[in-house]
Amino acid sequence: MMWNQMTLLFNDYTFQIVALGTGFLGFLSGVIGTYATLKKESLLGDALSHSALPGIGIGFLIIQSKELVGLLIGATISGLVATAIIQLMSKKSSVKFDSALSLVLSSFFGLGLVIMTHIQGRPNAQQAGLDSFIFGQASAMLVRDVRLIAIIGMIILLIVIVFWKEFKLFSFDPDFGRTLGFSGKFIEFIMSTVIVLTIILGLESVGVILVSALLIGPSVAARQWSNKLGIVLPLAGAIGFISGILGTIISSVGNRIPTGPSIVVVLSIFVIGSLFFSPERGIIAKRSTYKKQRKYFRKQIELLEEEHEK
Amino acid sequence: MEEQKAIKIHQLTVAYDAKPVLWNASVTFKKGKLTAIVGPNGAGKSTLLKTILDFIKPVTGQIEYFVGKQSSEYKEIKNHIAYVPQNSTVDWDFPATVLDVVLMGRYGHLGWFKRPRKKDKDIAKEMLAKVGMTTFFNRQISQLSGGQRQRVFLARALAQEADIYILDEPLAGVDMKTERIIMDLLKELTKENKTVIVVHHDLQTVEAYFDEVVFINQEVLNNGPVSSTFTKGNIDETYRQDRNLGEEEGE
Amino acid sequence: MSIIAEITLIAVVVSVACSLPGVFLVLRGTTMVSDAITHTVLLGIVLAFFITQDLNSPFLIIGATFMGVFTVWVIEALQRTKLLGDDAAIGIVFPLFFSVAIILITRYTGDIHLDQDTVLMGELAFAPFRRLTFFGVDIGARAFITMVIILLINAGFIALFYKELKVTTFDAAFAAAVGFSPILIYYGLMTLVSLTAVGAYDSVGSILVVGFMVGPGLTAYLLTNELKKMIGVTVLIAVINSIVGVRLAFILDSSIAGMIAVITGIVCFLAFTFSPTKGLIRNLLNRRKRQKKFDEKVKNVY
């Protein structure tokens, strides 16, 4: 029965498209997210996804249709502008990075809402369907969406391979990178662009709020199993990929379960599992060494006290 | 005359995550003395201070505080201890004036809810005068130099009107003028029979500034009057590279 | 009272109520924790609704507030493991809680009169129409009454614990040494943040709440040098932002909360650029002055 349902599902064309799309997105954000978390800029992704909204709105106003490429260009530009403002505020004044992030996030999102509500008052509002960017509509993914994700994804992966060494250096220790003579600004611009592009691609399927989880989750989970970037990166990609597909399956089989949140829940299970069960750093492993050490420790102190009593 | 105790530490062991940082440390800080705690980085100097201040609970051992005649618990005498943290640990962009910060020294005496009164402000201003910063009282703290910040911190500690003063590297990165002001004031405190304990990083100045010295490297290695204890042998023993306690024994 | 006037009044009360705890979030640099809270209280609202079956129940507010505080606790527990970065811990916790909330809302959407749009974006324009009645007598818009109470609680907490908030924020180690527990004060503050987020979500939506909390405080931070003045300026900026925002929203026929958030961002950016003491231009001028002085010194030496 279950098996039949599964084969039916896997033969379903719509499911194939959606699963392919979310799986690939998961893979991509797993890989790129690893750099963002290494740079300790995990939450920048959250701010960026919110900041993309006005770009999408303005893009729609200019091209007057829901042509994905146009909207994505708008989103990328507004995401980059937001990043620039956050960096400017936190580096050129006593404003803390975290405060700049929150301010830009909500102001840009507010601007997005203002533009969206403005659009909704227009005759072609229905055509816009821009709500999908806020909550994500993976189930409505079309072949051309998946094709676009695949093409841009390939380009991003190519960039990662070409700049492998530089990215590694700059995500660990940008100051050291600069001393070696790499152009810091250029590499950081490429990295930001790649991160922004990945987020924008994720917007349509999981939406503004949850896309940052897709970026952070896989790398945090993968990080628990290895210290080597060469292993963490593909592992994060794999975890993202599996979460994407599993989340899509659950949402297709289950009754009224939205895809984006379903992917995030699956991903979170991977994260929590890794945090607890990873053999060396994991919470359980640590707890048992802690107990052993404390036992040893107590004994030493008892011996010491006995000695004093003598 | 027998020397009086201020703080008596008995077989103190402190650990983070079951890793020992301080091992079986016993030392007595004498009343009315200026004591330096010296040792290499990671030797447990700050940990000792934090345990004395009750931030960290020790695994074993006792700390006794002597403010009156009898020994007391930390909670009973917390208003008799003034603490000066490393000044790098706070956010100097915080919107406060110099006087605001010094007034915080009165908070412990005020307790919850009560606001500082004129008397507290007078004390704060008096202490600012002592550190030579009277004219700065209304200055925004972000505009102070490193030395001035340290003096503000000292003024805050003085405003606590305590019996025991604990300072974590107060001379790190300060100018000569500030260093002199701070050391003169600390000397003056000991003349009033107050106890001063300083984590100190500069071995060159120990002999000039302090009465007592405590050598720490995960355990208390030596302690006593500077004249007899601050010897080359003791320094070498403390700063030896291969000292490493507990860690490899743990497995 | 006209509808615009009533909306303006509600907007002002919401803005001021949010901005007060925001002052201390800005000073601590924990604004993103509040962003997480504003999302996770949604799960609290949904779960509390299953128990109370009433969206207007005060228990719903208490339950949801508790979820916000629980979020802070989970984030801190994760951060303590040192297995992941501090901000990654925030970024793991809130999407999970939020996702569970969205799944629950979607599955039981027939039973809960909560739709995603209102929860996330709020709608101030509808606020005057949701009335609160007491023994059959209309006593005002529900959002207004709720937020006035929350505003009073926030103001009362800050007035009562002003000294404690100040010392724990500036120097936590010192505060602990003199007997004021920084953890206690922090959780007190975060309880206010949760309570405010729960109260404000149906007016301004859970995404924009964080802007309402951070924006005025950050603007005041850039303009003042003393905590009391900073709190005063924060309130003033919150009032101005909301009045201007509501006006503009009506002129352009757009989302009111969104417009207030935009104004908040613009005003703060202006303060960042032009602040006479901490602004961008001031900093650039200072640096040029220092450079000049330095050049002269170098010239004098050679």
B95 with C164: Cβ contact below 8 A:
no
pLDDT at C23 over 90: yes
pLDDT in tens, A7-60: 777 778 888 888 888 999 999 999 999 988 887 778 888 888 889 889 988 888
Return the CA Rg of chain B.
Answer: 18
C contacts of B159 (beta carbons < 8 Å): none
Residues of chain C with Cβ-Cβ distance to B112 below 8 Å are 164, 180
Distance from CA of C83 to the nearest CA of A (A): 7
CATH of domain C3-301: 1.10.3470.10
- Chain A residues within 8 A of C90 when measuring between CB atoms: 42-43
Q: How many residues would you count in chain A?
A: 310
Please give the backbone phi and psi of residue B23, each rounded to the nearest 5 degrees, phi first.
-125, 115
Residues of the domain holding A174: 15-210
Q: Provide the 3-class DSSP secondary structure of residue B63.
A: strand
Q: Do C211 and A216 touch (CB under 8 A)?
A: no
Of A113-122, B132-141, C10-19, minimum mean pLDDT range: A113-122
State residue A173's pLDDT score: 67
**Whole-number pLDDT of residue C28:** 92
- Tell whether the model's pLDDT for residue A4 goes beyond 80: no
C10-29 residues labelled b (16+ CB within 10 A) or e (exposed): bbbbbbbbbbbbbbbbbbbe
Contact C230 B96 (CB under 8 A): no
Give A175-223 pLDDT, tens digit per residue. Answer: 666 666 666 778 878 888 888 888 888 887 788 888 889 999 999 999 9
Q: Which amino acid is at B11?
A: Q
Which structural domain, as residue segments, surrounds residue B68? 5-250
Report yes or no: A288 at the B interface, CB cutoff 8 Å.
Answer: no
Write the single-letter amino acid at B102: V
Calculate the average pLDDT of chain A.
83
Q: Which two tokens stand for residue C28?
A: 């601590």
**Per residue in C48-104, pLDDT tens?**
888 887 777 788 889 899 999 999 999 999 998 888 888 899 999 999 999 999 888
Q: Does C246 touch chain A (CB under 8 A)?
A: no
Decide if B98 contacts B133 (C-beta within 8 A): yes
- Chain C residue with Cα closest to A210: C95
| Predicted local confidence at residue B130, as pLDDT | 86
User: Token pair for residue B246?
Assistant: 């507990």
Question: Is residue C99 within 8 angstroms of chain A, CB to CB?
Answer: yes
Alpha carbon distance B124, B106 (integer Å):
8
No. of H helices and E strands in chain A?
Answer: 14, 0
Q: Per residue in B105-152, pLDDT tens? A: 899 888 888 888 888 888 889 888 888 888 888 888 988 888 889 899
Domain ranges, ordered by start, for chain C? 3-301
**Side chain identity at residue C69, one-letter code:** V
Q: pTM score, two decimals?
A: 0.88
The nearest CA of chain C is from the CA of B235 a distance in Å of 30
CA dist., res. A236 & res. A26, Å (int)? 9
- Residue B101 to residue C170, Cβ atoms within 8 A: yes
Q: Is the separation of the CB atoms in C212 and C18 below 8 Å?
A: yes
- Per DSSP, the residues of chain C read --HHHHHHHHHHHHHHHHHHHHHHHHHHT-HHHHHHHHHHHHHHHHHHHHHH--TT-HHHHHHHHHHHHHHHHHHHHHHHHTSS-HHHHHHHHHHHHHHHHHHHHHHTTTT----HHHHHH--GGGGGGSEEEETTEEEEEHHHHHHHHHHHHHHHHHHHTHHHHHHHHH-HHHHHHTT--HHHHHHHHHHHHHHHHHHHHHHHHHHHHHHHHHHHHHHHHHH-SSHHHHHHHHHHHHHHHHHHHHHHHHHHT--HHHHHHHHHHHHHHHHHHH-TTT-HHHHHHHHHHHHHHHHHHHHHH-
Joined together, the tokens standing for residue C134 give 């007491």
Complex confidence, ipTM = 0.90
Q: Do A43 and C90 touch (CB under 8 A)?
A: yes
pLDDT value for A110: 92
CA distance A183 to chain C (A): 24
Q: Number of Cβ pairs closer than 8 Å across A and B?
A: 27
Is the residue at A8 inside a domain?
no
- Asked if the Cβ–Cβ distance from C91 to A114 is below 8 Å, we say no
pLDDT band at A107 (very low <50, low <70, confident <90, very high): very high
The strand pair at B219-225 and B212-217 is best described as antiparallel
**pLDDT value for C117:** 65
Place of tokens 């304990």: B197
pLDDT above 90 for C10: yes
For position C73, what pLDDT does the model report? 95
pLDDT number for residue A88: 92
**Interchain CB contact of C227 with B (< 8 Å):** yes
Number of independent structural domains in chain B: 1
Q: What is the pLDDT of residue B113?
A: 85
Query: For chain B, how far is it from start to end, CA to CA, in angstroms?
Result: 49
For residue B66, give the DSSP letter: E
User: For residues A286 and A294, what is the distance between their CA atoms, to the nearest angstrom?
Assistant: 12
CATH number of the domain where residue A136 is located: 1.10.3470.10
Distances (CA, A) of A248 to A22, A191, A271, C123: 7, 29, 18, 32
Residue C240, chain B, CB below 8 Å: the answer is no
8 Å CB contact of C84 and A223: yes
Q: Domains in chain A: how many in total?
A: 1
Q: What is the amino acid identity at position A118? A: H
Lowest mean pLDDT among A136-145, A242-251, C95-104: A136-145
Within 10 A of A247 (CB to CB), how many other CB atoms are there? Answer: 30
Task: Please name every residue paired with C141 in a beta bridge, in sequence order, or none if there are none.
Answer: C131
Q: What is the predicted pLDDT for the residue at C75?
A: 94
Q: Do A262 and C99 touch (CB under 8 A)?
A: yes
Residue C186's pLDDT band, with cuts at 50, 70 and 90, is: very high
Residue A103: pLDDT band (50, 70, 90) is very high
Alpha-carbon distance of A199 to B9, in angstroms, equals 56
Tell whether A56 is covered by a domain: yes
pLDDT recorded at residue C115: 63
How far apart CA C249 and CA C247 sit, in angstroms, is 5
Do C21 and C212 meet the contact criterion of CB atoms below 8 Å apart?
no
pLDDT of residue B246: 44
* Cβ–Cβ pairs < 8 A, chains A and C: 212
Cα four-point dihedral sign B67, B73, B76, B77: positive
Indicate yes or no: CB of A296 within 8 angstroms of CB of B249: yes
Instruction: For residue A235, name the pLDDT band (cuts at 50, 70, 90).
Output: very high
Structure confidence at residue A243 (pLDDT): 95
Q: pLDDT band for position C26 (50/70/90)?
A: very high
| Dist CA B15 CA B23 (whole Å) | 8
State the Cα–Cα distance between residues A144 and A148, nearest whole angstrom. 6
Please, are residues C259 and C248 in contact by the beta-carbon 8 Å criterion? yes
Per CB-CB distance under 8 Å, the chain C contacts of B54 are: 177
What integer pLDDT is reported at residue B247 of this predicted model? 44
Give the residue among C171, C218, C75 at the shortest CA–CA distance from A98: C218
Question: Quick one: tokens of C297?
Answer: 């010194």
The beta-carbon neighbor of A220 closest among C88, C109, C261 is: C88
The CATH number of the domain holding residue B188 is: 3.40.50.300
Is B34 in a helix, a strand, or coil? strand
Q: Is the pLDDT of residue A86 over 50?
A: yes
Amino acid at C28: R
- Provide the strand spans (E) within chain B: 5-16, 19-30, 34-38, 60-66, 71-72, 81-84, 164-168, 195-199, 212-217, 219-225
pLDDT at A297: 73
- Sign, CA torsion A290/A291/A296/A301: positive
8 Å CB contact between A66 and A60:
yes
Both tokens of A256, joined, read 């009224």
- Residue A129's pLDDT band (cuts 50, 70, 90): low
Neighbours of chain A (3+ CB pairs under 8 A): B, C
pLDDT of residue C19: 96
10-residue mean pLDDT profile of chain B (251 residues): values are 76 78 84 86 85 86 81 80 85 91 89 87 88 87 88 90 89 86 89 89 83 84 79 77 48 28
Asked if the C-beta of C171 comes within 8 angstroms of chain B's C-beta atoms, the answer is yes
